[in-house]
Amino acid sequence: MAELSGQVATSAGLMSAEIALNDGRIASVRPATVAARSVIIVPGFIDLHCHGGGGADVMDGADAVRHTALTHAAHGTTTLLATIMTAPVHEVEQALIGIHAAMAMPARDGADVHGVHLEGPFISRERLGAQPDFVIPADIDLMRRFLNFAPIRVVTLAAEADPEGTFAAELAAHGIRIQLGHSSCDYETAASRFATGTSGVTHLFNAMTGLHHRAPGIVGAALAHADHAELIPDLLHVHPGAIRAALRAIPGVYAVTDASPASGMPDGDYRFGRQNIRKCGNGVRLADGTLAGSSLTMAAAFRNLVSIGLSLEEASRRTSTIAADYLGLADRGRITAGARADLVVLDQDLAVVDVLIAGRSILSGVAT
């Protein structure tokens, strides 16, 4: 039975503890006396919006999905949803087939690909963001076909694509999380969707109607009514002040990367779906300057949340526990007996020292 010790993020707060591991699970968590400069241990990060990384795009087949899982695992992500962007229907279907194949033969030392976040094609042409214009109205028969190819856990949906809300209601009844996003709908429409099955918001503040005191938009409806919302804390997509406002208003705000193939890569030019993108510093943009996903990792997201004032325990909740609960994954996102031994070991500067996936170290103590 293996053991880890350090300052451990638990539901009761940060505590000096020893974690016993057995057969890929946490056997016990016991209080311990640990040196003041010991490591910090948090639950493995969970990313519910990840398009790629390490130069790979999940749209490009099973090998690209596995490479993405390897890339993000090295930065502490232990579970992710492979996220499909808007594309022609046959390309979406091929991407789903590739993701399913990757799930059947997971990358050794890679994050667990738990399923799919379908970010398109059921979005608004007026709020494409960096997505190509292959939008279509919500189609339940097409969605059923998509579900034959791979497990879809989350669907981003514009209200305009589903005017009556029937598509969202049917999917929600089957346990699929529906998120309002890439939409120009007004406050009243958004508020009604939150009351009738829409679970959350895709990258809050981005690609949606903003908050104005006489026209609160989707952002205002989310702040007033939503229980969950994903948010990209690269400190470029959303100002720290807006992040803190969201954290006060929405109980279940959780961090995502919206990572592009440029995540984990040097500055330069990359392909993202059908688009050319350029990474420069912290930003990833189309030729016209539009933000095109991010180069974020979940480890960087964690550090950024701490940098704007969140405690280590709260940052851990926002990068792991809340996302796990949102998908109903009771055995992840927490350090407690019986949970999967998905853990991230950090030094005092919050740099990743090691990552354990189902109890297996994938970095062997080498800092990243």
List 258, 325, 342, 354, catalytic entry: 258
pTM above 0.75, yes or no: yes
pLDDT of residue 365: 42
**Angle value at C-alpha 214, between 210 and 215, nearest 5 degrees:** 35
Please indicate whether residue 349 is annotated as part of the active site: no
pLDDT of residue 363: 83
pLDDT of residue 35: 58
Those residues of the chain that have pLDDT short of 70 are 34-37, 364-368
pLDDT of residue 108: 86
Percentage of the chain exceeding pLDDT 90: 89
Question: Phi first, then psi: what are they for 78, rounded to 5°?
Answer: -110, -15
HSE-CB at 296 with a 13 A cutoff on CA atoms is: 31
pLDDT of residue 37: 59
Looking at the DSSP bridge assignments, the partners of residue 118 are 84, 155
pLDDT of residue 71: 98
pLDDT of residue 364: 64
Residue corresponding to tokens 């918001």 = 201
pLDDT of residue 32: 86
352 in Cβ contact with 344 (< 8 Å): yes
